[in-house]
A and B are shown apart, each in its own frame.
Chain A
């Protein structure tokens, strides 16, 4: 160990209480950053996956223009052909077909407008969480013909109970009037009010029959094995789709295109988070700056003596910087370690956020939230702390260069 490092190390522990406090500030801020970032990333993934698994899926194949204007005529005419393509693409966990039509839904004494969705009872289970969200009754089965699932709020608005009759009245694909009567088989609550208020699910076969869809559907909904695979899956589907029937051009859309609001929500949350982190780091930086300025005032006389016996000012700066970097490193190391431990703990057991469920239900998060520790969330916050504290320490360290030995030695 060189003499400089040895000196720096001894200087650090000359005033143990101050040093420990500074290290604690750094450690705590790093810990907080690690945890908060992990929590944020975790909540985004939860948000995306919950929204995606109840509504849109990670990816969808639709007719060109359907996303902008959901008219019943814009269909995927040959879902079987699209299905064949999807079977051969890796990393796809599951896919299903859906038909959608806006219709009047009417109970005995009330009528509302709702989005009637035809779902394949078997395939839908693989793709969406709908089955797990059933609060009353049960999910559709393959043999069901005129049964329906209704959102909790819509059921309440229509005053529906299990087994009640529900009249659907809309317009078929050929422009004819589509009407049918279904019985309520299940009532679900997804936590997304908008969805629970305006959605009805009926078997796809019935949907195609009533709305004169023939074999056609509106959406092919795809769930990937993980969020990070989506871009690759999208590319390979895009390539294959272009070779399909050019009569009815099909498009592949990812969740960001399907739910632009979700993406914007995440970006806005990230920005406000960044501002908070920046303030946190700034506070830590000032505390470090304070510590080092104090150290220099305290040791002015000592620096004077050192310079008088021939120590170059650059060497003093170097010693001071070693001190600051060492302290920061110790703090960050402790912070990351403890932050990771706390994060991992909550990652496994989850955080109960039922108190905030009203607010969060809009984003489709319900019950427990799990932070997600990643290299990015563990390192990026502490790295920012390191950089900012380094610059904070640079100022006092450079101040030493302007000292004159004689004056410095006379200082108290």
Chain B
């Protein structure tokens, strides 16, 4: 009888510990969301140099970007002069492209969302679905590392069932002060596809921020796209009128 009682309480204990959300999983979700908000801020204005590097050629673009919250962004190409004025507006899962030469706004169709953005290693999806990491994935901490004397959490993010995502898994490395160190993308067979790493963490826009973000294809060392923040400002808010199609058409200086 005694034995049986112990068994029941043991089983009950395990049952409870399995069914209630483990504190570790909760903090993983929290960690990802916090670091995501840390990177995006409430709103931001930035100038970024985008370098598309290929073994035989390289191309540089200067992009101005406005972001607000987790969902809204606006990008403008400043240089080279030939591409000056091309804009991209993203709201949630939807995305529009504006070209000044033909003076047209084009909505990017769902079938084109996995194509690359302006020939870079970032896909349209990477830009427009950036908050999908928060909404479509469940996160768990699978380990910790130490980089430069700081704890780094290794987080495995698996897509929720039925989530409209193309990745089979993502692996994040987030420093304990919420700074994003890397994001690795895996396909459905869990083979690595591409990896984004951040470099040169320094004070930018009033907070510690990685100056360089580099997206590299998993199997090719010499093919990558790099974002280099020239300036970054975090703001408490930006006007609604900024993230509209009408504004996308407006010529920029």
A interface residues with partner B (beta carbon < 8 Å): 73, 104, 106, 110-113, 167, 169, 171, 174-177, 179-181
Q: Which chain B positions have C-beta within 8 A of A174?
A: 59
Q: Are A169 and B106 in contact (CB under 8 A)?
A: yes
Tell me the B116-132 residues at the A interface (CB within 8 Å): 118-119
How many of B's residues come within 8 Å of A, CB to CB?
Answer: 22
B104 at the interface (CB under 8 A from A): yes
Least Cβ–Cβ distance between A249 and chain B, in angstroms: 14
Q: Which chain B positions have C-beta within 8 A of A180?
A: 101-102
Bound-complex Cα distance A174 to B118 (A): 12
A111-B108, A169-B106, A176-B80 given; 6 more Cβ-contact pairs under 8 Å: A73-B57, A111-B109, A113-B111, A176-B82, A177-B86, A179-B102
Least Cβ–Cβ distance between B217 and chain A, in angstroms: 13
Partner of A167, one of B77, B82, B104, B112: B104
Bound-complex Cα distance A113 to B106 (A): 12
Q: A169-B99, A175-B119, A176-B82 are in contact. Are A181 and B104 (CB under 8 A)?
A: yes
Minimal Cβ-Cβ distance residue in B for A182: B102
Q: Which chain B positions have C-beta within 8 A of A175?
A: 52, 57, 59, 119
Least Cβ–Cβ distance between A394 and chain B, in angstroms: 58
Bound-complex Cα distance A167 to B106 (A): 8
Least Cβ–Cβ distance between B111 and chain A, in angstroms: 6
B160 at the interface (CB under 8 A from A): no
Partner of B118, one of A106, A111, A113, A177: A177
Q: Which 6 pairs from chain A and chain B are nearest by CB?
A: A179-B99, A175-B59, A106-B106, A167-B104, A171-B119, A179-B102
Minimal Cβ-Cβ distance residue in B for A105: B106
Least Cβ–Cβ distance between A272 and chain B, in angstroms: 34
B34 at the interface (CB under 8 A from A): no
Q: A167-B106, A175-B119, A177-B83 are in contact. Are A112 and B111 (CB under 8 A)?
A: yes
Q: Are B102 and A167 in contact (CB under 8 A)?
A: yes
B45 at the interface (CB under 8 A from A): no
**Binding site secondary structure of chain A:** strand
Tell me the B36-60 residues at the A interface (CB within 8 Å): 52, 57, 59
Q: Which chain B positions have C-beta within 8 A of A106?
A: 104, 106-107
A-B contact pairs, 28 of them (CB 8 A): A73-B57, A104-B106, A106-B104, A106-B106, A110-B109, A111-B106, A111-B107, A111-B109, A111-B112, A112-B109, A113-B111, A113-B115, A169-B97, A169-B104, A169-B106, A171-B118, A171-B119, A175-B52, A176-B80, A177-B77, A177-B82, A177-B83, A177-B86, A177-B99, A177-B118, A180-B101, A180-B102, A181-B102
Bound-complex Cα distance A174 to B119 (A): 10
Minimal Cβ-Cβ distance residue in A for B101: A179
Bound-complex Cα distance A1 to B139 (A): 96
Bound-complex Cα distance A112 to B107 (A): 9
> What 1/0 flags go to B174-210 for Cβ under 8 Å of A?
0000000000000000000000000000000000000
Least Cβ–Cβ distance between A103 and chain B, in angstroms: 10
Bound-complex Cα distance A110 to B104 (A): 12
**Count of A-B residue pairs with CB < 8 Å:** 54
Tell me the B79-119 residues at the A interface (CB within 8 Å): 80, 82-83, 86, 97, 99, 101-102, 104, 106-109, 111-112, 115, 118-119
Bound-complex Cα distance A110 to B106 (A): 8
* A113, A169, A177 pick with most chain B CB within 10 angstroms: A177
Minimal Cβ-Cβ distance residue in B for A170: B119
Minimal Cβ-Cβ distance residue in A for B112: A113
Q: Which chain B positions have C-beta within 8 A of A179?
A: 99, 101-102, 104
Q: A112-B109, A112-B111 are in contact. Are A104 and B102 (CB under 8 A)?
A: no
Minimal Cβ-Cβ distance residue in B for A179: B99
Q: Which chain A positions have C-beta within 8 A of B57?
A: 73, 175
Minimal Cβ-Cβ distance residue in B for A112: B109
* B102, B107, B112, B118 pick with most chain A CB within 10 angstroms: B102
Bound-complex Cα distance A202 to B168 (A): 39
Bound-complex Cα distance A114 to B27 (A): 45
Bound-complex Cα distance A106 to B96 (A): 12
Q: Which chain B positions have C-beta within 8 A of A167?
A: 99, 102, 104, 106
Q: Which chain A positions have C-beta within 8 A of B119?
A: 171, 175
Q: Are B83 and A176 in contact (CB under 8 A)?
A: yes
Bound-complex Cα distance A179 to B112 (A): 17
Q: Which chain B positions have C-beta within 8 A of A181?
A: 102, 104
Minimal Cβ-Cβ distance residue in B for A165: B104
Bound-complex Cα distance A176 to B79 (A): 10
Minimal Cβ-Cβ distance residue in B for A171: B119
Q: Which chain A positions have C-beta within 8 A of B106?
A: 104, 106, 111, 167, 169
Q: Which chain B positions have C-beta within 8 A of A110?
A: 109
Minimal Cβ-Cβ distance residue in A for B106: A106
Bound-complex Cα distance A175 to B44 (A): 28
Q: Which chain A positions have C-beta within 8 A of B97?
A: 104, 169
Bound-complex Cα distance A377 to B106 (A): 55
Least Cβ–Cβ distance between B19 and chain A, in angstroms: 46
Q: A171-B118, A175-B52, A177-B86 are in contact. Are A113 and B102 (CB under 8 A)?
A: no
Q: Are B108 and A104 in contact (CB under 8 A)?
A: yes
Q: Which chain A positions have C-beta within 8 A of B102?
A: 167, 169, 179-181
Least Cβ–Cβ distance between B196 and chain A, in angstroms: 21
Bound-complex Cα distance A394 to B109 (A): 70
Minimal Cβ-Cβ distance residue in B for A167: B104
Bound-complex Cα distance A73 to B57 (A): 10
Least Cβ–Cβ distance between B99 and chain A, in angstroms: 4
Q: Which chain A positions have C-beta within 8 A of B115?
A: 113
Q: Which chain B positions have C-beta within 8 A of A169?
A: 97, 99, 102, 104, 106
Bound-complex Cα distance A146 to B112 (A): 25
Least Cβ–Cβ distance between A165 and chain B, in angstroms: 9
Q: Which chain A positions have C-beta within 8 A of B101?
A: 179-180
